[in-house]
Amino acid sequence: MSVGGVFDKAKADGRAALIGYLPAGFPDVAGSIEAMRTMVDSGCDLIEVGLPYSDPVMDGPTIQAAAQQALEGGVRTSDVLRTVEAVAATGAAVVVMSYWNPVEKYGVERFAADLAGAGGSGLITPDLVPEEAQEWIAAADAHDLDKIFLVAPSSTDARLAMTARHCRGFVYATAVMGVTGARSSSSDLAGPLVERARAVTDLPIGVGLGVSNGDQAAEVAAFADGVIVGSAFVRRLLDAGVDRQLGLDSVAELTRDLADGVRRG
C-alpha cells in the first residue's frame, strides 16, 4: 500500500494512522524484521525503518542506544533495504528514515532505485532541508518515492509553506523542540503546528516525537492525521534484553494500546 493509501484508509475509518519506527538491525537484522512484522500484525499502518547512523544528532538516548547496538552488529545500508523488502512483503507501507550522509555515501540515485526496488514508499530526511535536496528530489521523483521533510514549532510560516510544498506522502511535524524520546505528556506545541501546516497544504500531517501510550496517541489523533511512535517501541525491546519473545510480546501489547488510542482520538 502507498503512503497516501494508508492515510486515505485511516481517514475512511474515521481515525488517525499509526506510524511505528524501529532501527533496522536492532536487536539484529532478523530481530528487527520480526519486530516490525509484529507491529504491522498488531495495528501499525505504516512502518518507518531507521537507518542506523554513527552521529544521530536528533535522536535521544533510547534510539541512540538501539542504533549503536545495530552498528556494533555490523548493519549496513543493504541490510536496511533487505528489512524494507521483508516488511513491505506484509502489504504494509514502508518508508526509511535516515540522516542524509549515509544516503549520499551509498549514492543518491542508487539509493532511490534500490529503495523503490525493495518496495519502499519513500524517505524521511530529518537533517535535509528542501533547498539543499535537489539531487534527492530528482531521484525520488524519478522512482515515484515520497519525499517527507520535517517542520517544527520554530518554522516560520514561509518555511512551513515551502517545506510542505516539497513534501509528498505526508508532512512530518515534530511536536517538541529537542531530541527524540518518549515523554510523560505530549507537547502543547503540536496542535498549533498542525493547524499552521493545514493552512498551507492538503497533505496529511503526521506528528512525531514523544508519544508513548494509547492515551497520548488518542490526544494527538484528535488533531493530527498520523501519530508517529519510535522511542517507546525501542524501549520495549531494550527492556526485554536477550528475551526475544518477551520483546515481541511487549511490542505487540504497546501497538495494540496505541492502535486503540488512535481510534479513540
* Catalytic sites, residue numbers: 48, 59
Task: For the beta carbon of residue 222, count every other beta carbon within 10 angstroms.
Answer: 12
φ, ψ of residue 25 in degrees (nearest 5): 85, 5
User: Which 8-state DSSP code applies to residue 98?
Assistant: -
Report the C-alpha gap between 84 and 126 in whole angstroms.
19
Report the C-alpha gap between 224 and 106 in whole angstroms.
34
Phi-psi group of 45: left, alpha or beta (phi > 0 → left; psi -120 to 50 → alpha; rest → beta): alpha
Report the C-alpha gap between 48 and 23 in whole angstroms.
8
